[in-house]
Structure 1
Amino acid sequence: MTAPVTAPLADPAILAARRAALAAPHMAPLARCIDAMRRTTGRAMPDADPADGGTGARLLLLLETPGPSMPATGLVSRDNPTPTGANLRHFLAATGIARADILIWNAVPFLIHAPGARNRAPTRAERAAGLSLLPAVLDLLPRLAVAVLAGRFAGLAAPALTTARPGMPVLAMPHPSPTYTCTSPEVPRRILAVLAAAAGLLDAPRGVAA
């Protein structure tokens, strides 16, 4: 399924404002961290979206890899002009989780596609390299309370998350790409159910399971 909503980041003025907002207090530590990762890996890597929670996020939504169109905006965002972005806007709006509570990131945060290449799954080496970068991001999320792993490869991040944050709920859902959501009506239902469960965990009193 793909929601028929215009992608905000298709507007050059909105994209420029988002890029400028990477210097905002809730984003600057993440932007510095990601820039250091670019230098270390020598790979292209998008920033997190300043319209989301940044270092104040309580929910980490971990996708798999930046798509081939990533250089168009340079952001990991529900507002990207892609089918996956459209689906994310739909699902997240339906569950009502505040943007300030969310950070969207990728298990393999760097671009793995050659220019013009089609989307592909990350190799084992790429998955290992990507997951090795996750702890640095987690260190910048002091309020993190729940993680949602979207897709099979993102699910491989579960051990790193439980090691870094013992006892923190880690939920798994299908990836929101139309490649998966169009295969069965059950897939969108599962996505909505997991995001609703995550919302319930955020709303639950501290120390009380939803």
Structure 2
Amino acid sequence: MHDADRFNSIAQERLQAWRRSLVDSGRRMPLFDPADGGAGARLLILLETPGPGDAGDRQVSRDNQTGTARNLTRFLDEAAIARRDTILWNTVPWIVHEPGARNRPLRRGEIREGLATLPDFLALLPRLCVAVLAGRVAGEAAPVLADCCPRVAVLTMPHPSPTIVCTSPEIARTIRNTLMQAAGLLNDARL
């Protein structure tokens, strides 16, 4: 095994251990998408919280069968952002909804708890150079990123949920422009 492969393997294990620590504290947590960049990601897309449903083998993934995932996939593809460069996660990373319950707004305490988990999570992403905060709740993570990762460029955009994207053509345009800007920053970071 090459040194880079060994480093990537150890970094992935640490990321999974961090997630398991939240599960061990009684949280219902989706998995990281193994098709994404994981600990080697250069771009974080921070969403709000997993939707209703059971954790099971569920992942935070652009491959999920939801309108949000389909929209995000389309916008990331349009921006030509390589999947291996990304990691998707949520500001409140655990499932807050009771099994069988409908989607509900997050409570202030849940948002505070979720924000408190971010420093340890961000420390596990050594290659991170851009973070895109998607939606109002994710936007509250900007001070955490500024504190923990002052060299990381932080961009904000509307949440890619169909209920938000469909409200105005300007929403889709803003998301598209933000992800194009993120792609440019990723390209500049390679130079």
Q: After TM superposition, list the pairs within 5 Å mapping 1:168-207 onto structure 2.
A: 168-205=152-189
Q: Which amino acid aligns with 2:12?
A: M
Deviations 1:85-116 (A, max 9, x none): 11111111111101111010000001110112
Structure 1 runs not aligned, ≥5 long: 1-23
Instruction: Specify whether residues 72 and 178 from structure 1 end up closer, same or farther in structure 2 by C-alpha distance, changes over 3 A only.
Output: farther
Matching residue within 100, 103, 116 for 1:132: 116
Secondary structure (helix, strand or coil) at the match of 1:89 reads helix
Counterpart residue number, 1:37: 22
Paired residue for 2:43? 59
| Mapped partners of 1:178, 1:171: distance in 2 | 20
Equivalent residues, number: 183
Aligned match of 2:4: none
1:29 CA displacement = 2.0
- Kindly state the Cα deviation for residue 28 of structure 1 after the two structures are TM-superposed: 2.5
Q: Do 2:49 and 2:95's aligned partners in 1 also have CA atoms closer than 8 Å?
A: yes
Q: Secondary structure in 2 aligned to 1:161? A: helix
Contact 1:37-1:133 within 8 A present in 2 as well: no
Stretches of structure 2 that go unaligned for 5 or more consecutive residues are 1-7
Report the TM-score when normalising by structure 1.
0.83
Percent of matched pairs sharing the same residue: 54
Q: Are residue 27 (structure 1) and residue 12 (structure 2) matched?
A: yes
- Give 1:121's aligned residue: 105
Decide whether aligned partners of structure 1 residues 196 and 110 sit closer, same or farther in structure 2, where only a CA change above 3 A counts.
same
Runs of 4+ in 1 over 4 A off after TM superposition: none
Distance in structure 2 (CA, Å) of the matches to 1:52 and 1:70: 22
Which residue of the other structure, out of 46, 50, 75, is the alignment partner of 1:91?
75
Cα offsets for 1:161-206 (capped at 9, x unmatched): 0100113211000000001001011111100000000000011146
- Report the more deviating stretch, 117-126 or 51-60: 117-126
* TM-score, normalization by structure 2: 0.91
